[in-house]
Chain A
Amino acid sequence: MKKALLLISIALLMVSVMFGAESVKIGVAFPMTGGIAAFGQMTLNGVKVAQSLYPTVLGKKIELIVADNRSDKTEAANVVSRLIDYNHVVAIIGEIASSHSLAGGSIAEKKHVPMLSPASTNPLVTQGKHYVFRACFIDPFQGHVAAVFAHNYLKAKTAVVFTDVVQDYSVGLANFFIKDFTAMGGKVYREFYQSGDQDFSAQLTDALGKHPDVIYVPGYYPEIALMARQARQLGYTGPFLAGDGAEAPELVKIGGDAVNGVYYTSHFNADAPFTKIGKEFVAKYKEMYKESPSALAALGFDAYLLLRNAIQRANSTNPEKIAEALRNTKHFEGATGYITIDKYGNTIKSAVVNVVKNGKFTYVTTINP
């Protein structure tokens, strides 16, 4: 039986090799090695789930060509050039980090090949570009969602905002939160730290002196976890609010009980997918990888489907027409919600707010644009 299966699969492979010309080539430019390889792997898992659910478009097989950018900016530009010029892909899914998307995006723009980033949230990525899109919402929106949530749901009047000065992501979110929160009549105090810092007691003592209703930390999980621990030791019992950088199992591992009550804005919650396709995605992902999908996986899944949908609507594999169709994406049902792409290439869709409850990421609410 096993032998027969093997033979059939080899035969299929031969066939697929023979009819290789019939496939639609889509490039995937992700960091598969280096500093942020974990992000690349997570997102690629989501893309692969989408491919196994929907392997064809316009009656042709979709072939994914994965190119590793080695978490390096120079290579991020080189792989996009390679995918377009050497592999002749019709569209590209990538890249993950915003700084990489900026480098790769300028090449895609020059070559008129659509590039769809699953997770680059920096507004500069799509700014002034016609062939660069994204499947995620942008930093201003996430900052806005956090401000709305703090004001309406947490009923906060005073907020202390911690900014990680070396992360463009953190700087962006903090700025947009402050703008919107003060516009709603809130009061904001600012504190600063850097990725890699271990001790936040000085900033926290100063912050707690302001009696905040909420502490907003749009950074990454290691510092958020440590900060939560130290704040609880200093007697802070109020809520924390963070961005999607908080979402990692390590948050609970490092933070323990202290991170209970950390709210964060995110793209997706695997326990409460609110679209039909989202449920389908979670089921298939669990079947393939024996674990719950992360938000990045869901975004990778959506990026693949958005592209496939655009090719279908364009009824062509011409990159120019695919880009045109992508720009006209309206109310598309993805795993992370209903997606509309505006004329700037940015995505308009709802964000979810999750909270850490008893060490689990629990869904709280959805905030619409």
Chain B
Amino acid sequence: MGTKRISFKTNFILTTVFVIGVGFLLLAASHSVGDYWVRIITLMAIYSIMAISYTLVNGVTGIFSLGHAGFIAVGAYTAALLTLPIQQKTMSFFIAPLIWPLNSIQMGFFPATIIAGLVAAFAAFLVGYPSLRVTGDYFAIATLAFAEIIRIVIQNSYSITNGSLGLKGIPPYTNIWWAWGWLLVTIIVIGSLKFSSYGRALRAMSEDTVAAGAMGINVFKHQLMSFVVSGFFAGIGGALYAHWLTTIDPRPTSLGIMLTFFVLIMIVIGGLGSISGAVLGAIFFAFAAQWLRIVESPMNFFGITIPGIPGMSMLIFATVFILIMLFWRRGIMGKDELSWQYIYDHFAKKAGDQD
């Protein structure tokens, strides 16, 4: 077994080269694969941000929340209301006019995204403070309920969110660079958090809350912090999503429980608690959903046309998930991170097997 530790310096250089390499790949992709795939590549990064922030709570901290879509919705609405052109606001809000001061604000994408993150983090604090008093399934239900409350408040506040009519005409600011840039920030922040003393405390709690508490870790405080940080990046993800889609509404199928389940699928596929797993899961999810459309279009075999059957792709999708859960129970990455050490160990082990 190769147990050599890769030095910090090597690690740093390799990672920098990797990030620059990904940057060049994205640059090449944005010029060659066509607008459709560029959209999907952008969506991959947005999903990754949502997944990483979710895995911080559900995986690293080990508390099962079902309220993620609520914070994404808060972020999406906050950012959208801040960047929407004033003229668009007057046109869209035809049932009840938008209240002051939102009706006279229009700001750039970056500050709007930051504010969206902060507002979502504050929402996470408000939700987390009472709900973290309960644990396990009760916490899941409490957060689910809070997410629904957020959605229903959005649905009924006609003079702030345009209610069930939704918002449209959001400027399409989110491009491949914003999305992947924010993904890099998310990975750096949550990655360093995971491997800091706070992160070790979180991981200790995810193994055994009582033991961690007995060791002197303030369980509630740590859980709340993780929840708020997660909320911040969920809000960023929501802001990027709103400016990617250009229209949002509070339907259960768009910013409701379905979105939470999608993100949950991503992090379970990727491996609960693994940041790189969350990214891989999100990329897999976004890619497969599009790529599998091939099976839904009519196919030609030597002049015999097989008509496309809508829904086939979802059938295959579901089957793949079931297979992964059967044979790869901990997801693609398990709890590990795709680090250089991990890759080195992996290959060293392989080489060792051959000897």
Residue of B nearest to A74 (CB): B245
* Given contacts A33-B314, A166-B155, A175 and B95 within 8 Å (CB-CB): yes
Most chain B C-beta atoms within 10 Å of own C-beta, residue among A68, A77, A85, A175: A68
Interface string of B288-310 (1 = CB under 8 A from A): 01100100110010011100101
Residue of B nearest to A72 (CB): B253
* Given contacts A67-B293, A78-B290, A33 and B311 within 8 Å (CB-CB): yes
A71 within 8 A of B: yes
Please measure, in the bound complex, the distance between the C-alpha atom of A122 and the C-alpha atom of B163, giving whole angstroms: 14
Residue of B nearest to A111 (CB): B35
What chain B residues lie within 8 Å of A81 (beta carbons)? Answer: 35-36, 39
Asked if B164 and A171 sit within 8 Å, CB to CB, the answer is: yes
What chain A residues lie within 8 Å of B314 (beta carbons)? Answer: 33, 70
A66 within 8 A of B: yes
| Stretch in A102-110, A247-255, A304-312, A352-360 with 4+ CB within 8 Å of B | A102-110
A17 within 8 A of B: yes
* Given contacts A78-B290, A102-B247, A13 and B164 within 8 Å (CB-CB): no
What chain A residues lie within 8 Å of B290 (beta carbons)? Answer: 78, 82
Residue of B nearest to A175 (CB): B95
Interface string of B145-174 (1 = CB under 8 A from A): 000000000011000000111101100100
A297 within 8 A of B: no
Most chain A C-beta atoms within 10 Å of own C-beta, residue among B165, B246, B290, B305: B165
Asked if B156 and A165 sit within 8 Å, CB to CB, the answer is: yes
Interface string of A60-80 (1 = CB under 8 A from B): 000001111011111101100
Nearest Cβ distance between residue A37 and chain B, in whole angstroms?
8
Please measure, in the bound complex, the distance between the C-alpha atom of A276 and the C-alpha atom of B156, giving whole angstroms: 45
B13 within 8 A of A: no
What chain A residues lie within 8 Å of B297 (beta carbons)? Answer: 65
Asked if A75 and B289 sit within 8 Å, CB to CB, the answer is: yes
What chain B residues lie within 8 Å of A103 (beta carbons)? Answer: 245-247
Asked if A82 and B293 sit within 8 Å, CB to CB, the answer is: yes
Residue of B nearest to A63 (CB): B298
A154 within 8 A of B: no
Interface set, chain B 155-205, CB cutoff 8 A to A = 155-156, 163-166, 168-169, 172
Residue of B nearest to A129 (CB): B169
Please measure, in the bound complex, the distance between the C-alpha atom of A292 and the C-alpha atom of B310, giving whole angstroms: 24
Interface set, chain A 37-96, CB cutoff 8 A to B = 37, 65-68, 70-75, 77-78, 81-82, 84-86
Please measure, in the bound complex, the distance between the C-alpha atom of A178 and the C-alpha atom of B35, giving whole angstroms: 44
Interface string of A115-134 (1 = CB under 8 A from B): 00000001110011000000
Asked if B164 and A166 sit within 8 Å, CB to CB, the answer is: yes
B251 within 8 A of A: yes
Please measure, in the bound complex, the distance between the C-alpha atom of A75 and the C-alpha atom of B245, giving whole angstroms: 10
Number of contacting residues on B, CB 8 A?
42
Asked if A102 and B166 sit within 8 Å, CB to CB, the answer is: yes
Interchain CB contact (< 8 A) of B92 among A111, A124, A166: A124
Asked if B36 and A82 sit within 8 Å, CB to CB, the answer is: yes
Asked if B91 and A128 sit within 8 Å, CB to CB, the answer is: yes
Asked if B166 and A99 sit within 8 Å, CB to CB, the answer is: yes
B40 within 8 A of A: yes
Most chain A C-beta atoms within 10 Å of own C-beta, residue among B164, B246, B254: B164
Nearest Cβ distance between residue A105 and chain B, in whole angstroms?
8
Nearest Cβ distance between residue A101 and chain B, in whole angstroms?
9
B43 within 8 A of A: yes
Please measure, in the bound complex, the distance between the C-alpha atom of A13 and the C-alpha atom of B305, giving whole angstroms: 8
Please measure, in the bound complex, the distance between the C-alpha atom of A166 and the C-alpha atom of B151, giving whole angstroms: 11
Interface set, chain B 31-80, CB cutoff 8 A to A = 34-37, 39-40, 43
Please measure, in the bound complex, the distance between the C-alpha atom of A342 and the C-alpha atom of B88, giving whole angstroms: 21
* Given contacts A78-B290, A99-B247, A127 and B91 within 8 Å (CB-CB): yes
* Given contacts A33-B311, A68-B311, A168-B165, A106 and B172 within 8 Å (CB-CB): yes
What chain A residues lie within 8 Å of B36 (beta carbons)? Answer: 78, 81-82, 84-86
Interface string of A269-310 (1 = CB under 8 A from B): 000000000000000000000000000000000000000000
Asked if A99 and B303 sit within 8 Å, CB to CB, the answer is: no
What chain B residues lie within 8 Å of A171 (beta carbons)? Answer: 95, 163-165
Interface set, chain B 217-251, CB cutoff 8 A to A = 245-247, 249, 251
Nearest Cβ distance between residue B134 and chain A, in whole angstroms?
27
Please measure, in the bound complex, the distance between the C-alpha atom of A166 and the C-alpha atom of B165, giving whole angstroms: 9
Nearest Cβ distance between residue B325 and chain A, in whole angstroms?
22
Please measure, in the bound complex, the distance between the C-alpha atom of A128 and the C-alpha atom of B87, giving whole angstroms: 11
Please measure, in the bound complex, the distance between the C-alpha atom of A72 and the C-alpha atom of B155, giving whole angstroms: 18
What chain A residues lie within 8 Å of B293 (beta carbons)? Answer: 67-68, 82
Residue of B nearest to A86 (CB): B36
Please measure, in the bound complex, the distance between the C-alpha atom of A106 and the C-alpha atom of B43, giving whole angstroms: 16
Please measure, in the bound complex, the distance between the C-alpha atom of A173 and the C-alpha atom of B190, giving whole angstroms: 47
Please measure, in the bound complex, the distance between the C-alpha atom of A102 and the C-alpha atom of B34, giving whole angstroms: 22
Please measure, in the bound complex, the distance between the C-alpha atom of A335 and the C-alpha atom of B254, giving whole angstroms: 33
Asked if B246 and A17 sit within 8 Å, CB to CB, the answer is: no
Please measure, in the bound complex, the distance between the C-alpha atom of A37 and the C-alpha atom of B314, giving whole angstroms: 14
Please measure, in the bound complex, the distance between the C-alpha atom of A81 and the C-alpha atom of B246, giving whole angstroms: 14
Interface set, chain A 134-157, CB cutoff 8 A to B = none
Interface string of B267-296 (1 = CB under 8 A from A): 000000000000000000000011001001
Nearest Cβ distance between residue A180 and chain B, in whole angstroms?
15
Closest 4 CB pairs of A and B: A32-B310, A85-B36, A33-B311, A68-B310
11 example contacts (A-B, Cβ-Cβ < 8 A) are as follows A13-B303, A17-B305, A68-B296, A72-B258, A82-B293, A84-B36, A85-B34, A99-B247, A99-B254, A106-B169, A110-B172
Q: Which residues of B contact A (CB under 8 A)?
A: 34-37, 39-40, 43, 88, 91-92, 94-95, 155-156, 163-166, 168-169, 172, 245-247, 249, 251, 253-254, 258, 289-290, 293, 296-297, 300, 303-305, 308, 310-311, 314
